Structure 1
Amino acid sequence: MGAGQGTAMLLGGVLGPGMLVLPQLAAAAAGPASVLAWAGLLALSVPVALTFAALGARHPDGGGVAAFAARTFGPRWAAMTGWWFYGAVPLGTVAAALVGGGYVADAFGVDRMAAAAALLAAAFLANAAGLRTSGRLQLALLGGLVALLAAAVVTAAPHAEATSFTPFAPYGAAGVASAAGVLLFAFVGWEAASHLSAEFADRRGLVRATAVALVVIIVLYLGVCLTTIGVLGDRAGTTAVPLAALLEIGFGPGARPVTGAVAVLLTFGAINTYIAGASRLGAAMARTGALPGWFASGGEPGRTPLRSLALLAALSVPVLFLAGDLDVLMRATAACLAAVTTVGVAAAVRLLPAGRQRATAVAATALSAVSLACCGFYLLVPATLGLLATVLVVELPRRLLSR
């Protein structure tokens, strides 16, 4: 893998359909001051991304953060990390489906929940049939998302007004922290560098790809957040489809149905890929004892892990109909994935050599801990999953074996 393809893969790990709605959720939480949350999390991304790149280059391991946690902190932390990641998938895929459903509802007048359910059902059926989004198609969809965000910024930015940024912080520091809690959804994924490390022909290519991906994310995210506030003003925190609103200002009313159709493709591609990866993750966790062994079936190359897929579907249905609030789902997902990131960079403090790399890992750990605190009440989600993993995967088997 070269630096160009590696950059695209890293962007695919971080940039997702959540960007279609996160500017609105952040603005609703903090008003114009949400730009401070964006800027703070972008600052966090630099040491986190560089730490995972260094970790991947020095310790290539496809097992990702769970493998680093096992090597550094032991089986208990490895089990918790696996459960955080696996548990976040039903939450995150349902959130993505609701994002797509919202744009479909706005563009075509259909019911949002019905559209979200249809997207989820189509993705699960496609995976059960063995149809997954190809790497080239996924990269094409990623390019479509980047183009859509860039078009919204470029066409709408001339309509921005300075008065849209006043009052700047109507909800104070608490609002900024709340915005950061939901925006974490758009900043997790840098651990993909450690997964991809063995695929690079030149390990330095991983570092170059990470640097380029960081620049793209910084420019794109700052452009989106500043344009959303500057152009939409008070509407930034109330419209359910901020990107469609920006494109309508830039291109006219005809942009809405086009944006709705593109949103369907983007969200379906992302959901399909997440489900495919998560079903295989579940089978792999079952092989290592992190899930019951019954779920390991079908995890072999060329087969479909139907049992793990069925478990994900069984978890996703109640999430959709019982906790279908987009803000709640994104915050819960972000809390789980932020916990994974924090464990990963903390492991790097031990695994990386003393000097600049370890200092970067220390900074990444400290900043990740601060961002984790912004999740507030939603930390109960990874805490509950971690407790279950500790009891069911580590302590209970140990006690049974000691008898």
Structure 2
Amino acid sequence: MSQLQKSLRLPQIISLYIGAVLGSGVLFLPGVAASMSGPLSIVSWIVISLAAVPLALTMGLLSAFYPSSGGVSHFVSEAFGKSFGTVIGWMFLLSVPTGVPIIALTGSSYLGQLFGWGHSGMVLGAAAILATVLMINFFGVKTMGFIQTLVISLILFVLLFAIFSSLPHVKTEHFTPFAPNGIWAAVPTIGILFWCFIGWESVTHMSGEFNDPGKDALKGVFWSAGIVSVLYIMLGVMVVGTGSYTGGMAETALSHMVQLSFGKPGAIGVSITALFISIASANAYVSAGSRIAYTLSQQRVAPRWFGTVHSNYKTPIGGLLFIGIIFAVLLTAVHLRWLSFETLLPFPNATYFATYIGGAAAGVKLLKNHKIGRIASMASLVLTLGFFPFLGWVALYPVSVVLIVFIWNAKKKTTQTVPLNS
């Protein structure tokens, strides 16, 4: 049997990890975090950056010793059985239709700020982005690998450009009062910022091609975590220092930072880049989510119609339909102002949090004979469990998912064991 070539060395591994973690969250979370806790948000960035290190190490080591495209779901299945792995699969699936509209609203908000769109215009813009992504997945047009590289390059460029171009506009008075909403405002801010540190497990399927998995996985995590953390903290400082999160600009703070030095041309460039990033990121999540829906259906742990495949294009239209229905419901609620960007954001964040609790717990069991892995996974489990209650009432969302999945499985098993009447 042929094996994959072990050709990925440390520089490529660092790039893979950075690309997995940096995403659309950088477009809106720095401003949202600052609006939640003011200058104190800088402390939240530092805390979550430090907390992310053991979690990243846990995911990196699990990727090295248990390589699989199943990601956290596979780790949990290995540690606790398929039933728990199924729960994690559902967690990710439900993160997609709730999280992707946030990405679409972000891209639309950048354009809306540029062209003066009102609330309805930005919701329609988000709907157009989501419709585009669903159509791409319906016809089976796959995003080429070079587009992923281009997206990451654009994100890095926008971050560095925004940070350094806005340096002359930093004012000391923007850092006072330091905690306008109280010290405890930092805790929910940390929970929201967790969104920016997901993705470590997505390099799992590449770990079989690491030149030296045991050594390079650890080094890759340390270097990438350091680089990403420095970028995020610098961005958090500059958003606060320039006051770019005030006056309703929280979701488009990067655009405002660039506009301080380069005016409308700079804002146009950032807005176009944000739109491209939003479409590419949304496409990646919808593609993965629709296929997870298909897989869960094939495993008979989801409704049968989730597994419907188009006869010509061979695309998972059942999963796309499920995702599309939730898109429509959520955007309608946003349009009617029943939901807002801020109230929608905690839902996918809560399921991501729960997913990583499962991953950390799996690490405690699977990495118990690895000194660094044992310490990292224990620290990750304590940190994620410790922060989870501070998500507030939305923490009940993933808990309800767990209950529903186990009730579904129990009911299915009962049905299967009931003998048919002759």
> TM-score range with shorter-chain normalisation?
over 0.9
Choose from 395, 398, 401 the match for 2:413: 398
Choose from 157, 162, 165 the match for 2:167: 157
| Whole-Å separation in 2 of the counterparts to 1:174 and 1:200 | 42
Structure 2 counterpart of 1:269 = 280
SS of corresponding position for 1:289: coil
Choose from 369, 376, 380 the match for 2:385: 369
Q: Does 1:43 align with 2:58?
A: no
* Pairing 1:318-357 to 2, within 5 Å after superposition: 318-323=329-334, 324-352=339-367, 353-357=369-373
Q: Does 1:64 align with 2:79?
A: no
1:279 counterpart letter in structure 2: S
Q: Quick check: 237-246 or 100-109, which moved more?
A: 237-246
Structure 1 residue 364 displacement after superposition: 1.2
Structure 2 counterpart of 1:80 = 87
Q: Quick check: 371-380 or 144-153, which moved more?
A: 371-380
| Whole-Å separation in 1 of the counterparts to 2:79 and 2:310 | 27
| Whole-Å separation in 1 of the counterparts to 2:248 and 2:325 | 33
> Judging changes above 3 Å, is the alpha-carbon distance between structure 1 residues 190 and 67 closer, same or farther for their aligned structure 2 residues?
same
| Whole-Å separation in 2 of the counterparts to 1:192 and 1:364 | 17
Structure 1 residue 200 displacement after superposition: 2.6
What's the TM-score, normalizing by structure 1? Answer: 0.94
Contact 1:156 1:246 in 2 (8 A): yes
1:277 counterpart letter in structure 2: A
Structure 1 counterpart of 2:192 = 182
* Pairing 1:281-292 to 2, within 5 Å after superposition: 281-292=292-303
| Whole-Å separation in 2 of the counterparts to 1:334 and 1:39 | 19
Structure 1 residue 234 displacement after superposition: 6.8
Choose from 213, 216, 222 the match for 1:205: 216
Instruction: List per-residue Cα deviations over 1:207-239 (Å, max 9, x = no partner).
Output: 333223212211110110000001117728754
Structure 1 counterpart of 2:405 = 389
Choose from 122, 127, 139 the match for 1:117: 127
> Judging changes above 3 Å, is the alpha-carbon distance between structure 1 residues 240 and 52 closer, same or farther for their aligned structure 2 residues?
closer
Contact 1:54 1:357 in 2 (8 A): yes
Structure 1 residue 99 displacement after superposition: 0.3
Structure 2 counterpart of 1:229 = 240
Structure 1 residue 297 displacement after superposition: 4.0
Instruction: List per-residue Cα deviations over 1:113-144 (Å, max 9, x = no partner).
Output: 11101000001011111112211111101110
Instruction: List per-residue Cα deviations over 1:253-293 (Å, max 9, x = no partner).
Output: 32112211111111011111111111111111222222134
| Whole-Å separation in 1 of the counterparts to 2:379 and 2:132 | 42
2:89 counterpart letter in structure 1: G
| Whole-Å separation in 2 of the counterparts to 1:363 and 1:135 | 35
What's the TM-score, normalizing by structure 2? Answer: 0.90
1:145 counterpart letter in structure 2: I
| Whole-Å separation in 2 of the counterparts to 1:222 and 1:179 | 14
1:214 counterpart letter in structure 2: A
Structure 1 residue 382 displacement after superposition: 0.8
SS of corresponding position for 2:68: coil
* Pairing 1:139-150 to 2, within 5 Å after superposition: 139-150=149-160
Q: Quick check: 255-264 or 344-353, which moved more?
A: 255-264
1:303 counterpart letter in structure 2: K
* Pairing 1:294-333 to 2, within 5 Å after superposition: 294-298=305-309, 303-323=314-334, 324-333=339-348
Q: Quick check: 188-197 or 175-184, which moved more?
A: 188-197
Identity, % of aligned positions: 27
Structure 2 counterpart of 1:250 = 261
> Judging changes above 3 Å, is the alpha-carbon distance between structure 1 residues 306 and 245 closer, same or farther for their aligned structure 2 residues?
same
Structure 1 residue 195 displacement after superposition: 3.6
| Whole-Å separation in 1 of the counterparts to 2:364 and 2:166 | 43
Structure 1 residue 17 displacement after superposition: 1.3
| Whole-Å separation in 2 of the counterparts to 1:273 and 1:328 | 24
| Whole-Å separation in 2 of the counterparts to 1:336 and 1:51 | 19
Choose from 225, 231, 252 the match for 1:220: 231
| Whole-Å separation in 2 of the counterparts to 1:15 and 1:105 | 24
1:139 counterpart letter in structure 2: T
| Whole-Å separation in 1 of the counterparts to 2:49 and 2:310 | 36
| Whole-Å separation in 2 of the counterparts to 1:36 and 1:286 | 43
Structure 1 residue 71 displacement after superposition: 2.1
> Judging changes above 3 Å, is the alpha-carbon distance between structure 1 residues 401 and 288 closer, same or farther for their aligned structure 2 residues?
same
Instruction: Name stretches of at least 5 consecutive residues in structure 2 with no aligned partner.
Output: 1-6
Contact 2:244 2:257 in 1 (8 A): no
SS of corresponding position for 1:66: helix
